[in-house]
Amino acid sequence: MNQDRPAWLHGASAECDVLPKPPAVITRLVLLGPPGVGKGTQAALLHDRLGACHLSTGDVFRNAGSRPDGGQTPAIREALAYMRRGELVPDATVLETVRERRACLHCRGGFILDGFPRTVVQAESLQRLLDQERLQLTAVINYDLPEAAIVERLAGRRTCSQCKAVYHLTERPPELAGRCDLCQGALFQREDDEPESIRVRLETYKQSTAPLIDFYRKLNLLILVPASGTADEIYVRTMSALSVRPLRS
C-alpha cells in the first residue's frame, strides 16, 4: 500500500506529501472487474506511468482499522462496524467516506478509483458527486477473466503481514519463501483468498457489481480489457484501449 496519499488514507484534515507533476493529459478512471483480475496491480502501474493518484477504498478501510478511534470520522467508524460483523458496508456509508475525501478527486495528476463504485447506486452517487465537483471521467475499464482462472490466481496469492505487499506462489513468488522482499515480514493467505471464499466473493460480484457494466456502457465510458497474461501485457492492452478515447477535461 502506497503511503504517499495521506489525504486519501486519513481524510480531509491531512495533506499529501507528494504532489504529482501535472501530466500532459489528466486521466480520471474507474476500474471494474471481479476479485482476482489484478485491478490493484493495474492501478499501481497506471499510477506510476500516468501520474494519476490511486484511490482505493479498500486501502482507506484497512488503514482506518489500524488507527485509534479518535482518528476516525463517523463514516469510517460506521464502515468498520459493518466490516467487523462481516457485513457489506452500505452504499451511503461508502459514498460519505469518498465524499470526505472529494479533494482527492481534484488531484492534479488525475485519479484511478479502485473498489468504488461497487453498485449501480454507488455509481449514480459518484456521477452526481463528479458533476458537483465539475469533473468528468475519462473512462471506466472493465477487466475480464474466466472464473476458473480467477480462483487459481487468488488461491496462490500471499500478502505481507507488515507492509501489505502482495505476492503469488507461481506468478510472483518472493525471493525467500514465506517472507516479503521489501520488509521481510511474514506472508500469509487471506481468508477471503481461500477457494470456498473466492466463489462466494464472485457470486456477490455478479449480483451487485456486474450491473455496473451496463450502467457505464450506456454512458459510453466502458472499455473492456482481457485480464489474462502478465501485468505488463494487460497494461499495454489498457493503454491501447485508452489511446482511442476522446480526451476529456
Contact in structure between 113 and 25 (CB atoms under 8 Å): no
Give the active site residues: 39, 118, 157, 190, 201
Report, as an integer, the average pLDDT of 238-249.
76
Q: How confident is the model at residue 228 (pLDDT cuts 50, 70, 90)?
A: very high
For the segment 135-191, what is each residue's pLDDT rounded down to a tens digit?
A: 999 999 999 999 888 888 888 889 999 888 889 888 889 999 999 999 999 999 888
- The domain covering 6-144+206-236 belongs, at the CATH homologous superfamily level, to P-loop containing nucleotide triphosphate hydrolases (3.40.50.300)
For residues 83 and 9, the model is more confident at 83
Longest dimension (CA), the chain: 49
| Number of other residues whose CB lies within 10 A of the CB of residue 67 | 13
pLDDT at 134 over 80: yes
In 3D space, the residue among 134, 78, 140, 130 whose CA is nearest the CA of residue 99 turns out to be 130
pLDDT at 12 over 80: no
Residue 78: what pLDDT? Answer: 86
Report, as an integer, the average pLDDT of 45-58.
86
pLDDT-wise least confident of 35-39, 58-62, 71-75, 137-141: 71-75
In 3D space, the residue among 182, 208, 237, 164 whose CA is nearest the CA of residue 35 turns out to be 208
Instruction: Report domain extents, the chain.
Output: 6-144+206-236, 147-193
pLDDT at 28 over 80: yes
Size of the chain in residues: 249
DSSP per-residue letters across 92-125: HHHHHHHHTTGGGGG-TTEEEEES---SHHHHHH
Name the range with the highest mean pLDDT among 2-6, 57-61, 86-90, 110-114.
110-114
Residue 197: what pLDDT? Answer: 84
For residues 86 and 21, the model is more confident at 86
Residue 80: what pLDDT? Answer: 83
pLDDT at 69 over 50: yes
Distance CA 31, CA 222 (A): 10
| Averaged pLDDT score across all residues of the chain | 84
Name the range with the highest mean pLDDT among 159-168, 218-227, 239-248.
218-227
Here the cell at position 245 is 478515447
Contact in structure between 162 and 183 (CB atoms under 8 Å): yes
CA distances 220 to 27, 95, 118, 169, Å, are: 16, 23, 18, 38
Residue 217: what pLDDT? Answer: 95
